[in-house]
Amino acid sequence: MSEPTRITAPAGVFPAAQYSHVVMATGRLVAVSGQLPLDEEGGIVGEGDAAAQARQVFENLRRCLAAAGGTSHASSSGGAGFDDVVKLTYFVTDTAHLPAIRAARAAHIPDDRLPASSAVQVAALVRPEFLMEIEALAVVGEQ
C-alpha cells in the first residue's frame, strides 16, 4: 500500500489542528468496532479517570488492529498498526475528556500522521462507568 495522503487544510476549509480533514488511501478496509475501557477479563479500567480509560481504549485498539493484516510499520505479528488508521471516531460523555484522549492518541500516532476524526458527545454509553468509546477505520495493503 502506498502511504496515505493526509490533507489538513483543504482550500476554503479552516485548517485542522488535531486531525486531518481528508485521508486518502488504497487497500483493504479494516473496521474496528468501538473499543471500551475494559481489560482482557472484562473489568473496567480507570473508573472515573478519563486518562486511564483513554490509555486502555487505545491499547484495545492496538490489539484489534494487530489482528488484521497490515503494513511493514505494524507489529511483528504482521498485523495492522496505527500507521494504517485513516479515521477515528470518538464517543464521549463529556468533551472535557478530549485532552486525555489526545494524550493517549499521541502515544501511538504522531502529529504528522493524524487520521481524519469525529468527536461526538453522547448522553450515555452502554454502561454508566464508561466515559468514552473509540472506533477506527484502517486501510491495509494486500497480503
Query: Residue 1: is its pLDDT beyond 90?
Result: no
Q: What is the pLDDT of residues 18-70, one digit of tens each?
A: 888 888 888 889 999 999 999 999 999 999 999 999 999 999 999 999 998 64
Domain that residue 100 falls in: 19-140
Q: Is residue 9 part of a domain?
A: no
Domain assignment of residue 7, yes or no: no
Within a domain: 75: yes
- List Cβ neighbours of 88 (8 Å cut-off, separation of 6 or more): 19, 105, 115, 116, 117, 118, 134, 135, 136, 137
For 75-119, write each residue's pLDDT tens digit: 445 678 999 999 999 999 999 999 999 999 999 999 989 999 999
Query: Residue 90 domain-assigned?
Result: yes
- State the pLDDT at residue 142: 55
pTM of the model: 0.87
What number is the average pLDDT over the span 1-7?
73
Q: Is residue 108 part of a domain?
A: yes
The pLDDT assigned to 71 comes to 47
CATH number at residue 62: 3.30.1330.40
Residue 22 exposed, middle or buried by CB count within 10 Å (0-12, 13-18, 19+): middle
Of the candidates 132, 16, 27, 143, which has an alpha carbon nearest to the alpha carbon of residue 86?
27
Q: Output the pLDDT for position 74.
A: 43
In-domain check, residue 1: no
Q: Residue 10: its pLDDT value, please?
A: 83
Contact 15, 96 (CB under 8 A): no
Residue 54 lies in a domain: yes
User: What is the predicted pLDDT for the residue at 15?
Assistant: 86
**How many domains does one find in the chain?**
1
- Record the cell numbers describing residue 63, joined without a space: 490489539
Q: Is residue 8 part of a domain?
A: no
Which among 90, 84, 47, 50 has a CA at the least distance from the CA of 64? 84
